[in-house]
Amino acid sequence: MNDIRKIKLINLLKIMGIRSISDIKPKSEEDSDDFILENKFELRLKIQKVIFFLKKIDKDLDYPYSMYLHGPYSPQLAHDYFSITDDEINNVENNLDENEIKMVKYLNNKDPLWLEIASTLRFLIDMNYNDEEAIDKVIVLKNDILNANNKDSQYIKQILQEIKEIG
């Protein structure tokens, strides 16, 4: 990972409230609590989705993504954030501009379902699906999670409108 990308990634983690790499690392001996495991997974999901959207405005964060179970995912990004040390988190200076900070804070306040649906929509639109095709595909891909959360196509349409408004 190049130095600029690493510093930006560290700053993104800090803005998201991550102060130690143990906040996101997968299961360890002290992680016997399902709540802890779920929080760690949600933080990693948020990192993946925030960077996915942020790469649209910051070419230093242009990680390659593929579609996975919870939407767009970058193995390279996962490798990079797991390679960061706590010392690096504590000692790096901010190098994000105001627009990036604003976007990170906005997305960080979204729930994991919203981020999963929004990033999947954006991924499909980037793959040249039109809006209706992307909505239909998300309904198929995310049917179980949508049903489990009592969400329907209207929810997807609202998310699509919102991501268009934020650019």
Q: What is the pLDDT of residues 25-84, one digit of tens each?
A: 866 545 555 545 568 889 999 999 999 999 988 999 999 999 999 999 999 999 999 999
Which pLDDT score, from 0 to 100, does residue 1 have? 64
Stated pTM of the model: 0.89
CB 50 within 8 Å of CB 67:
no
Which pLDDT score, from 0 to 100, does residue 94 have? 84
Q: What is the pLDDT of residues 106-158, one digit of tens each?
A: 999 999 999 999 999 999 999 999 999 999 999 999 999 999 999 999 999 99
**Spatial CB neighbours of 57, under 8 Å, sequence gap ≥ 6:** 99, 100, 103, 167
Which pLDDT score, from 0 to 100, does residue 40 have? 86
Q: What is the DSSP string of 19-65?
A: -SGGGTS---TT--SHHHHHHHHHHHHHHHHHHHHHTTT-GGG----
CB 108 within 8 Å of CB 16:
yes
Bridge partners (DSSP) of residue 40 are none
Which pLDDT score, from 0 to 100, does residue 38 have? 65
Q: Distances from the Cα of 133 to the Cαs of 78, 136, 150, in angstroms?
A: 29, 5, 21
Which pLDDT score, from 0 to 100, does residue 28 have? 57
Which pLDDT score, from 0 to 100, does residue 22 have? 85
